[in-house]
Amino acid sequence: MNDYTIIKKNGNLSELLISREDRRNALNSDMQYSIINSIQEIEQDDTVKVVLVRSSGEDFSVGADIGELVKMDREMAEKFRENMLKITQLIFLSTKIYIFYLTGYSLGGALEMAQWSDIIIAHEKARIGQPEINIGINAGAGGNSILPVEVGYRNAIYMAVTGKIISAMEAKQIGLVQEVVKTESEMLEIATKISTQDPMTLKSIKRTMRIASKTGYDEGMRVEKEEFVRLVQSRSTKDLLSRFLKK
């Protein structure tokens, strides 16, 4: 049973809600396992093309549960880090498109999960940051590694060493967030539209960009060519091209 997560499905879109509202969705070990189990369950469903990760409360998540952190010995710390990395790698390596919707406070490890996704949408009132320095720890889910890639070294280290919490619009301006919305319906419209796109094309685009981001331009171009040749021969692409010509 996934006590801290709820899965909802609407066509090709699956929603994964994290739900620990009495602790502002703070991430503890039980919640980690719940998220892992839910992602693995969603990954088994081949009809799902887009996964929307959001919270059931006002805050997306305030980050790691400090009450649990303060009790950690070496073994517990290593296990916590291992579980966070499992979550991020499940997201990063998936062929599905992962969208995170940030609301309220979206901090620390919770923000780091989002950073390994494909698209981040934030409500205009969201407050976003990696304030771990204020409690004497560094990022626990790869945040110190991926943030400089996303927003540049100076922006990243400034956020990390000051613990500054920024607005959704500031996050968009530096490239951390892709879209800022005023309402939930705006966010759902974006997610739903993506979920209606051709599944083979979605997978091809994600595969190419992920490989290019990890291995560089040359390998990315090789995979892009491979995917292009494969797609233009596919029945679904032929159908889309024919429909376009009839417009």
| Selected catalytic residue, list 21, 41, 75, 112 | 112
**Active-site residue flag, 75:** no
Distance, CA of 154 to chain centre: 23
| Selected catalytic residue, list 15, 21, 82, 132 | 132
**Active-site residue flag, 132:** yes
Instruction: Quote the DSSP letter at residue 174.
Output: T
Tell me how far apart the alpha carbons of residues 201 and 230 are, in angstroms, rounded to a whole number. 10
Residue 45: both structure tokens together: 């469903």
Q: In sequence order, which ranges of the chain are alpha helices (DSSP H)?
A: 29-43, 66-69, 74-93, 108-115, 143-151, 153-162, 168-173, 184-195, 199-215, 217-232, 235-245
CB 92 within 8 A of CB 116: yes
Tell me how far apart the alpha carbons of residues 72 and 81 are, in angstroms, rounded to a whole number. 11
Q: Please list the active-site residues.
A: 112, 132
